[in-house]
Structure 1
């Protein structure tokens, strides 16, 4: 299930982090040519990255007029996390039912590494092992279309899901939430795994909104 990030994904992630941090404030013009030079690529991956950010409402892409940084819209973010939560919840339910013994062993190993990183509050390692934990569940769902869909959505939201760990309370909270998901998967309890994962992802969304507020990010609410 682990796949290398494309150059487009990397550029979109870097630009998203710059937008979220305020380095690229609302209204900043994003010139494809300048960005291509900055990232050392052709204009094609830059154009695709801007489309990704447009889909997240971080960038306003205007035909024949270029792209500008848009205000982060709280309503849109809530909808994105709601969609991710539902997709991941289905994956968790299917994984609880369909995972093989080998896949369960792999998930346990990844879970322990993620749990340890969360306990240490190792903010360098946490995003990596957290992603591995979730992707092991996608793989265990044994539904390639669903796994591909949720992977695309999670990768688009990666800058937002990573931001949560800048809050002091999120590593221990995430640790507790993962434990509930794992308990349900161990018990092969699909409905419990589904509900636990849904609650976990919605908590991530609320944590992002809190981080954005504390970071002084201008978030539109209308």
Structure 2
């Protein structure tokens, strides 16, 4: 948060969007204090639009405001994070199931394209680009479900959980990336063969909610991330 940014005419909305991007990407981790004066200086504005932006973020449960104590990026409890991951897993699995039911040549081409992007990123050793390819793979399946209401539920939930850097923490080593690529290939194959049950099960297994998966995921997170 040390670089000045250009602010659009709607100051509060512009500041909110920038802070929201930093929170959802994990650049501002859970528990990070947010100082009104520092943010105002960063955007070259008064503190009034900053306060408005923080109020808007609080309404989205992205920050927590405590009177006379300050503002921090919101933290989840361990049970809350588990519950959200379980819900995300079920919603993503349903997307995969519907994508298998409604598979098309257009979807096949999109899946093959994003799988190739992931392969190229893994071969170059670019962890950040593989993480992006991973997000694009899931987005292709959301679109492939052809259920926009479902997609509208899963996208913000995934963004909310991404504060905990779910993808980056699962994709740090060549072995983790290889495991992810194998899982993506199996999910894509199940979708394109129209196997709804298999697509659902494989996608559900792909999200870290099982006993060992969730425990391993928690072990990678600092205690300061939680209430």
TM-score, normalized by the shorter chain, greater than 0.5: yes
Pairing partner for 2:96 from 92, 104, 113: 92
2:34/2:72 contact within 8 Å kept: yes
User: TM-score scaled to structure 2, two decimals?
Assistant: 0.74
Pairing partner for 1:176 from 171, 182, 188: 182
* CA distance in 2 between partners of 1:130 and 1:107 (Å): 11
What displacement does 1:48 show?
3.2
* CA distance in 2 between partners of 1:77 and 1:184 (Å): 29
Change (3 A) 1:187 1:68: same
2:20 corresponding residue in structure 1: 9
1:146 counterpart = 2:150: yes
- Any unmatched runs of 5+ in structure 1? 1-5, 21-25
* CA distance in 1 between partners of 2:88 and 2:80 (Å): 12
Change (3 A) 1:146 1:71: closer
1:160 counterpart = 2:166: yes
1:32/1:47 contact within 8 Å kept: no
TM alignment of 1:43-192, pairs within 5 A: 43=50, 44-52=52-60, 54=61, 59-62=63-66, 66-68=70-72, 73-158=77-162, 159-167=165-173, 169-192=175-198
1:199 counterpart = 2:210: no
1:210 counterpart = 2:216: yes
1:177/1:200 contact within 8 Å kept: yes
| SS of residue paired to 1:125 | helix
Deviations 1:9-55 (A, max 9, x none): 313235x43426xxxxx5x6423443343356742444434554x35
2:29 corresponding residue in structure 1: 19
| SS of residue paired to 1:166 | coil
| SS of residue paired to 2:171 | helix
* CA distance in 2 between partners of 1:76 and 1:190 (Å): 29
| SS of residue paired to 1:202 | coil
2:98/2:146 contact within 8 Å kept: yes
Between 144-153 and 201-210, the greater mean CA deviation after superposition? 201-210
Count of residue pairs brought into register by the alignment: 205
